[in-house]
Structure 1
Amino acid sequence: MSEAVLSPVRIGRLSIGALGILALALGTLQSVVEPALPLLQRELGVSPSEGALVGNTLLVTGAVVAPVAGKLGDRYGGKSVLVRLMAVVSAGGLLAGLAPNLPVLLLGQVLQGVMVGALPLSFILVRKHLPTGESQLAIGVVMALFTGGGMVGTLFAGPIAEGLSWHWMFALPTIAIIAMTLVITRLMPHDPPVQADNRIDWPGMALLSGTLLAFMLGLVKVTGDGLPPLAVGAIAVVVAALATGWVTVERRAASPMVDLRMLAKPAIWHSCVLTLVITTSFGMVAFLLPQLFAIPADGYGFGLNTTDIGLFLLPGAIAGAVSDSLGGVAARRFGLRAVLIGGAAVTVATVIALVSLHTAEWQLVVAKVLIAIGAGVGSTALLTRTATAVETRDTGIATSLLVVTRVIGVAVGSQVAAAILDAGADSATGLPTESAFATGFAMAGLVAALSLLVVRMTKKGVQA
């Protein structure tokens, strides 16, 4: 009880640096699958949809765990929950590093998925220990390093997989995560819980987790297996029932997991809608590009190996890291609405151009850079706005909901793109046709264009 009333200790550069390096290692572990996906598909003997499942299994777990982690961090303190989550991530990384087959690899990905909860927990720590202005900068730094980890994973996944084996892609970042967790345990001061006298809303947590899990698994099944309409309808009914039950419980709970009044704020729900649209388009392109790079060069593809794919994706990863660090700053200087419109316009123009301009490597590299900038600046600006638009006691749950929205958007995008490639596969070779990629890029452009419509429809909320 006494801990709840103590003033938080201001954290120094070493503690922020430790959080940042941990985010870098987590981003690396999350990103190694993208450039190595064609290699994994070949070595494990799986289709594009099953390959998308390797990456999206992590996202499924992250979508379920992030809001729970954020709420527990608000309740018990960000540091203690973060350390426990990293133990689970480490176990998953080591399991993936030892995986002999696809089922074991998927189990490792499930455990690794709790890493998504590290982001809202990091935001809790910087929000509690730093003034508002400095906390916004620190949030941008953590997000930038998490995205920068994507750069590291993209660059080194190929050489590691081809020089050692794909198992080491997971093992090496895991070793770094273990080391940095030990450093944080020693350096980071304990942050006092904000609501020490309130009980945890376990029914609300269970229903929200069940809703997200049913949605994510349903998404994977619908886009990958071609379920009959009755099965699709059944999945939709289950998700709707769980969501309705969750809303009912939250409205009656004395201390709800998510205060529905908070969700009703324009700053929150507008951010969630826009983030979903932005990241869905980005997820589609992020899945399509490495697949196109790997298509044999005797047709319309380039026949690149994992190392080369990583090198060509690297500029986009760098652009994403930079744009993530500048999203909040750009929104403060130019206004959130201007940042969102600019990012969406760049994304739409770029993806539509890809429909016809995808015959040279440089075209795909430039496209990935522009899309990473557009999506990164917009989504991070929305995240920093959300982190400072709620009370300190709600930082974890509010930011975790937005992180979950990002995860869902990327998962939706990649699964839809995988389904488009599967549907457009050549019956003789089993490879996607060029028209399937063109269709995928066109769909990604249409989704990105929706963000412009959403910004216009929610003009007042975006300016709030």
Structure 2
Amino acid sequence: MTTITTPAPPVRMRRAAVWALGALAAATGTLESVVTPTLPLLQRELSMSRAEGALLSVAMLITGALVAPVAGSLGDRHGGKRVMVRLMAVVCAGGLVSALAPGLPVLLLGQVLQGAMVGAMPLSFILVRKYLPAGESQVAIGVVSGLFVGGGMLGTLIAGPVAEGLSRHWLFAIPTSVVAAATLCVRRLMPDDAPAGSDARIDWPGLVLLSGILLTLMLGLSMAPEVGARPLALGALALLLAALVTGWVRVERRSPAPMVDLSLVARPGIWSAYVITFAVCVGTAVSMYLVPQLFDVSADGYGFGASSTDIGRYLLPGTVAAAVSGPLGGVAARRFGASAVVAAGIAVMSATLVALAFVHGEVWHLVVGKALIALASGVCVTAMVVRTATSVGHGDTGTATSLVLVTRVIGFAAGAQISGAFLTAGTGPGADVPAESAFVTGFLVAGVVTALSLFVVRTLSKGDKE
């Protein structure tokens, strides 16, 4: 007698598991965002220069740029859940170090460890694509992305009151405890995903070379505020970067299991998404860095003398706009197409940045401008993430989306460091406040860089057709 075995139904992710991923995204978004509105306060308490403040604002992003591609690749091969839980343990350790930091060096160490949180997003996308149908996975990606931005909104709102009412240490302790709790929920509610392709060896040479590329790039960006003082060092870093990139490309082409499939990156619809994401994030980062600094400048000059609480309140509309931009970008992309939505977002963002260069004499000018930039940027980046996640095979989800996030990180780091360079160059000998022209130059350069990405949108359209 023949026994017929009925195959087990596919495992589906429960709604509670999706919301657990969303809660983790919100908690990490909160932890990521508390530095920006309190940066002037941290600069005063820790006696930091503006260049050191710019470095602190991107320290977390430096680790994120290193961790995201590794996390995405390991998640594709060994299971998103197990990699995510281990990654969040590093984030919690970093949050604890930041909370207990007595000074800038230890705080920088904590921020570096916290940067591992960037790897959580591609791992979330791996899980939702594995356990949900295509339509539902797009919604889930939008939910997770939106809650991450919503967490950033909450962090922006509470950062000033917490830092001024309690202390800077609680800025990191409170969201870190929530990250730990959300991680436990994910571990309990998320299905255990079996490793896919776990027999593949890790591309250690490619990993080492990519890490060297990103570290060299970030080191060069961190030296941007002092470009005039150390041109030879920057030139040497540029040559080292070129050598590392050349070596990495050769290694990845010859590897039987490359960490990054270069043929995937070479697709017009993929590489154009990375270029657009970089340019948009440069413009966004410039506004994120310059606007709080402009609010902080004394009201006796051209600034407003705002406190950290005031700065957080002024930035709140922009964070709300960023939170709304996620679902708005997804809906608009489905209705009008990703290319049209991205082109409209770039146009709005570029025009706003240029306008801020000449019109920033009132608080509401900056509040409205920052909100428009956040909305346009969020629409563009969300469209790029969702489009990239759903245009590749399941086995490439983590790698492809992690590279979008790495590009985002590099764009933010570049924008912040360029802004710091402009303010440093605009501060005369013996002066504490940069000239107003430094802010004008920063906004104009950001507007031009963002506008140039419009030339790549046509390539993105070709990728959509393919």
Q: What band does the TM-score fall into relative to the shorter chain?
A: over 0.9
Q: Are 2:31 and 1:18 aligned? A: no
> Does the 8 Å CA contact 1:270/1:462 hold for their aligned counterparts?
no
Report the Cα distance in structure 2 between the residues aligned to 1:8 and 1:316, rounded to whole angstroms: 42
Which stretch of structure 1 is more off in the superposition, 383-392 or 189-198?
189-198
Cα deviation for residue 219 of structure 1 reads 1.1
> Does the 8 Å CA contact 2:328/2:379 hold for their aligned counterparts?
yes
1:409: which partner in 2? Answer: 411
1:330: which partner in 2? Answer: 332
2:77: which partner in 1? Answer: 75
1:152: which partner in 2? Answer: 154
2:47: which partner in 1? Answer: 45
Match of 1:243 among 231, 242, 245: 245
Equivalences for 1:13-162 in 2 at 5 Å? Answer: 13-162=15-164
Report the Cα distance in structure 1 between the residues aligned to 2:9 and 2:217, rounded to whole angstroms: 40
Name the amino acid aligned to 1:413. Answer: G
Report the Cα distance in structure 2 between the residues aligned to 1:75 and 1:457, rounded to whole angstroms: 31
Report the Cα distance in structure 2 between the residues aligned to 1:41 and 1:261, rounded to whole angstroms: 44
Q: CA RMSD in A?
A: 1.4
Q: Are 2:359 and 1:363 aligned? A: no
Which stretch of structure 1 is more off in the superposition, 419-428 or 362-371?
419-428
1:393: which partner in 2? Answer: 395
How many correspondences in the alignment?
Answer: 460
1:144-183 alpha-carbon deviations (Å, 9 max, x no partner):
1111111011000000000000110011000000111111
Identity %: 60
Name the amino acid aligned to 2:98. Answer: A
Query: Is the alpha carbon distance of 1:6 and 1:327 closer, same or farther for their aligned partners in structure 2, counting shifts above 3 Å?
Result: farther
> Does the 8 Å CA contact 2:279/2:453 hold for their aligned counterparts?
yes
Report the Cα distance in structure 1 between the residues aligned to 2:230 and 2:464, rounded to whole angstroms: 39
Cα deviation for residue 225 of structure 1 reads 5.9
Name the amino acid aligned to 1:440. Answer: G
Which stretch of structure 1 is more off in the superposition, 454-463 or 282-291?
454-463
SS in 2 for 1:219: helix
Cα deviation for residue 135 of structure 1 reads 0.9
2:232: which partner in 1? Answer: 230
1:209-257 alpha-carbon deviations (Å, 9 max, x no partner):
1111111112112334645332111101111111111111111111111
> Does the 8 Å CA contact 2:224/2:417 hold for their aligned counterparts?
no
1:377: which partner in 2? Answer: 379
SS in 2 for 1:49: helix
> Does the 8 Å CA contact 2:339/2:460 hold for their aligned counterparts?
no
Unaligned runs of 5+ in 1: none
> Does the 8 Å CA contact 1:267/1:385 hold for their aligned counterparts?
no
> Does the 8 Å CA contact 1:8/1:192 hold for their aligned counterparts?
no
SS in 1 for 2:453: helix
SS in 1 for 2:194: coil
Which stretch of structure 1 is more off in the superposition, 215-224 or 272-281?
215-224
1:434: which partner in 2? Answer: 436
2:422: which partner in 1? Answer: 420
Query: Is the alpha carbon distance of 1:6 and 1:216 closer, same or farther for their aligned partners in structure 2, counting shifts above 3 Å?
Result: farther
> Does the 8 Å CA contact 2:98/2:111 hold for their aligned counterparts?
yes
1:433-455 alpha-carbon deviations (Å, 9 max, x no partner):
11111111111111111122222
Match of 1:302 among 272, 291, 304: 304
Cα deviation for residue 461 of structure 1 reads 2.9
Report the Cα distance in structure 1 between the residues aligned to 2:51 and 2:116, rounded to whole angstroms: 23
SS in 2 for 1:231: helix
Which stretch of structure 1 is more off in the superposition, 220-229 or 385-394?
220-229
Cα deviation for residue 48 of structure 1 reads 1.4
Report the Cα distance in structure 1 between the residues aligned to 2:8 and 2:207, rounded to whole angstroms: 28
Name the amino acid aligned to 2:26. Answer: L
Cα deviation for residue 463 of structure 1 reads 4.8
Report the Cα distance in structure 1 between the residues aligned to 2:341 and 2:300, rounded to whole angstroms: 41
Query: Is the alpha carbon distance of 1:30 and 1:226 closer, same or farther for their aligned partners in structure 2, counting shifts above 3 Å?
Result: farther
Cα deviation for residue 458 of structure 1 reads 5.2
SS in 2 for 1:355: helix
> Does the 8 Å CA contact 1:140/1:327 hold for their aligned counterparts?
no
Match of 1:196 among 178, 198, 204: 198
Query: Is the alpha carbon distance of 1:180 and 1:458 closer, same or farther for their aligned partners in structure 2, counting shifts above 3 Å?
Result: closer
1:268: which partner in 2? Answer: 270
Which stretch of structure 1 is more off in the superposition, 83-92 or 454-463?
454-463
> Does the 8 Å CA contact 2:350/2:448 hold for their aligned counterparts?
yes
1:31-67 alpha-carbon deviations (Å, 9 max, x no partner):
0000000001111111111101112110000001100
Query: Is the alpha carbon distance of 1:244 and 1:85 closer, same or farther for their aligned partners in structure 2, counting shifts above 3 Å?
Result: same
Name the amino acid aligned to 2:104. Answer: L
Query: Is the alpha carbon distance of 1:227 and 1:254 closer, same or farther for their aligned partners in structure 2, counting shifts above 3 Å?
Result: farther
> Does the 8 Å CA contact 2:209/2:248 hold for their aligned counterparts?
yes
Which stretch of structure 1 is more off in the superposition, 345-354 or 452-461?
452-461
Report the Cα distance in structure 2 between the residues aligned to 1:154 and 1:56, rounded to whole angstroms: 16
> Does the 8 Å CA contact 1:6/1:192 hold for their aligned counterparts?
no
SS in 2 for 1:358: coil
Report the Cα distance in structure 2 between the residues aligned to 1:295 and 1:192, rounded to whole angstroms: 54
Report the Cα distance in structure 1 between the residues aligned to 2:296 and 2:16, rounded to whole angstroms: 41
> Does the 8 Å CA contact 2:269/2:461 hold for their aligned counterparts?
no
Name the amino acid aligned to 2:258. Answer: P
Name the amino acid aligned to 1:134. Answer: E
Cα deviation for residue 98 of structure 1 reads 0.3
